Amino acid sequence: MNTETNKVIACVDGSGLSEAVCDYATWISQRVNAPLKLLHTIDHHPETAAITDLSGNIGVDSCDHLLEDIIRIEQQHSKLRLQQGKTLLQAAKERVTHNGIADPIISQRHGNLVESLIELEDSIRVLVVGMRGKVHDNQPGQIGAKLESIIRSLHKPILVVNEAFKPPQRIMLAYDGSNAAEKAVDMVASSPLYKGLTCHLVCVSKDKATSQKLLDAAANKIIQAGGIDLITQKLTGKIDQALCDYQDGQAIDMTIMGAYSHTRLHDMLLGSFTAKMLLSTRKPLLLLR
C-alpha cells in the first residue's frame, strides 16, 4: 500500500466538537503532507415498519394512504438531511481552507458511519473523530455511541478529539512493551508529525527495574531517529489515574497509546482501560491497534 496517497479523514457531524475535529485534522494533514478528506454520513432509519401490521385495525385503504404519507414524509426528511450534510461539509471546507488546506476532499455518504469507515479503511492514514457526536453533545461524561465500534473495527491511527484545538507541543507516549506500544514508538520515531515536539515516554509499573528496561529500549529508537526532545518517566499506581495525573502535571497536549488490547470477555469483567482513558483524559487521545 502506498501510504503517501492515504488521507487524513475528519468525521464531520455538526456536533460541538466538529470544529476541533477539522482543526486537528488540518494540523495533521499539513505536518505529514497528506490529503485531507471531510466525511459526513447520513444514516437512514426505516420508519415504515411500525405500521406494517395495522391493516387489520384500520383497514387496507387507510393503511395504504398512511403508508403513502409516511413515505412522502421520509423522502422530505431525506432531502433535508442531505441538504444539512452539504451545509455542514461546506462550513467545514471553509474552515480548513481558511487554515491553509488548499484542496480538501468533500464526501457525503449514505449509511452507517462505522460501515463507511470500514469500507474506507485502506485509504485512511489517520482518522480524526470527536469524543461525542450530536446525540451526546451536552453530556461531557459520555463517550459517543459509535466511538467504541469505530476504534474496535479499524486498524488505523485514530485521534479522538475532546477539546478545542491547541497546537500540540508536548505529547505523552504511554508505553508498556506491548505490540501496540511498539507500533506507537516506531510511529513517533519515523513520522514527521512529531518532529520538533517534546515527547514524554512514560511507563507505569510496580517493577521499576522492568519499566526502566522497557523505557531504555524504546527511548533508543526515538533518540536514533532524531528531531524529538525526549523525556522518560517511570510511574507507579493505577495506570489510568497515573497517566492522567502526569498528563495534567506536565501540561501534555496529546496522549498516544494502544487501544483495546484485551478480549471482550476481559473488558466485560474488568472494564476497558481504553474506555477509562477516554473518559478520564481531558486531552486528545491518539489510539493505535
Mean pLDDT in residue range 28-35 = 96
For residues 103 and 211, state if they share a domain. Answer: no
274 neighbors 243 (Cβ within 8 angstroms): no
For residues 151 and 217, state if they share a domain. Answer: no
Confidence of residue 269 (pLDDT cuts 50, 70, 90): very low
- Does a structural domain hold residue 287? no
Mean pLDDT in residue range 261-287 = 70
Percent of the chain with pLDDT over 90: 55
Determine the pLDDT at residue 44: 63
Say which amino acid occupies 262: H
Has residue 3 got a pLDDT over 70?
Answer: no
Name the grid cell of 6: 492515504
Sign of the CA dihedral running 180, 183, 189, 190: negative
Determine the pLDDT at residue 137: 63
Has residue 10 got a pLDDT over 70?
Answer: yes
- Does a structural domain hold residue 191? yes
Does the reported pTM lie above 0.75? yes
Determine the pLDDT at residue 54: 47
Has residue 108 got a pLDDT over 80?
Answer: yes
Q: For residue range 178-189, what is the model confidence (pLDDT) as tens digits?
A: 888 888 999 999
For residues 207 and 85, state if they share a domain. Answer: no
Q: List the domain range (segments joined by +) for residue 123.
A: 3-45+81-160
Has residue 73 got a pLDDT over 90?
Answer: no
For residues 194 and 110, state if they share a domain. Answer: no
Measured in degrees and rounded to the nearest 5, phi and psi for residue 141 equal -90, 10
For residues 87 and 228, state if they share a domain. Answer: no
Q: Looking at the chain, how many residues does it have?
A: 289
Determine the pLDDT at residue 45: 57
Determine the pLDDT at residue 221: 93
Within the chain, what is the greatest distance between any pair of CA atoms? Answer: 79
- Does a structural domain hold residue 92? yes
Measured in degrees and rounded to the nearest 5, phi and psi for residue 26 equal -60, -45
Determine the pLDDT at residue 209: 85
- Does a structural domain hold residue 274? no
For residues 30 and 117, state if they share a domain. Answer: yes
Q: How many CB atoms lie within 10 A of CB 49?
A: 8
Has residue 193 got a pLDDT over 70?
Answer: yes
User: Residue 227: which region, alpha, beta or left (left: phi > 0; alpha: psi -120 to 50)?
Assistant: left
For residues 216 and 99, state if they share a domain. Answer: no
CA–CA separation, 151 vs 41, rounded Å? 17
- Does a structural domain hold residue 272? no
Determine the pLDDT at residue 6: 93
Determine the pLDDT at residue 210: 82
Determine the pLDDT at residue 233: 95
For residues 41 and 123, state if they share a domain. Answer: yes
- Does a structural domain hold residue 125? yes
Determine the pLDDT at residue 93: 97
Has residue 263 got a pLDDT over 50?
Answer: no
Q: Is 66 helix (H, G, I), strand (E, B) or coil?
A: helix
Burial of 19 (0-12, 13-18, 19+ CB in 10 A): middle
For residues 151 and 192, state if they share a domain. Answer: no
Mean pLDDT in residue range 206-216 = 86
For residues 86 and 189, state if they share a domain. Answer: no
CATH number at residue 243: 3.40.50.620
Burial of 22 (0-12, 13-18, 19+ CB in 10 A): buried
CA–CA separation, 274 vs 278, rounded Å? 6
More confident site: 266 or 238:
238
Q: For residue range 132-141, what is the model confidence (pLDDT) as tens digits?
A: 876 666 666 6
Measured in degrees and rounded to the nearest 5, phi and psi for residue 108 equal -120, 120
Has residue 99 got a pLDDT over 60?
Answer: yes
For residues 133 and 246, state if they share a domain. Answer: no
More confident site: 144 or 225:
225
Confidence of residue 156 (pLDDT cuts 50, 70, 90): very high
- Does a structural domain hold residue 99? yes
For residues 172 and 39, state if they share a domain. Answer: no
Mean pLDDT in residue range 35-53 = 69
More confident site: 171 or 3:
171
Domain boundary among 132, 160, 188: 160
Determine the pLDDT at residue 49: 41
Of 6, 69, 13, 3, which is closest to residue 37 (Cα–Cα)?
A: 6
Domains held by the chain: number: 2
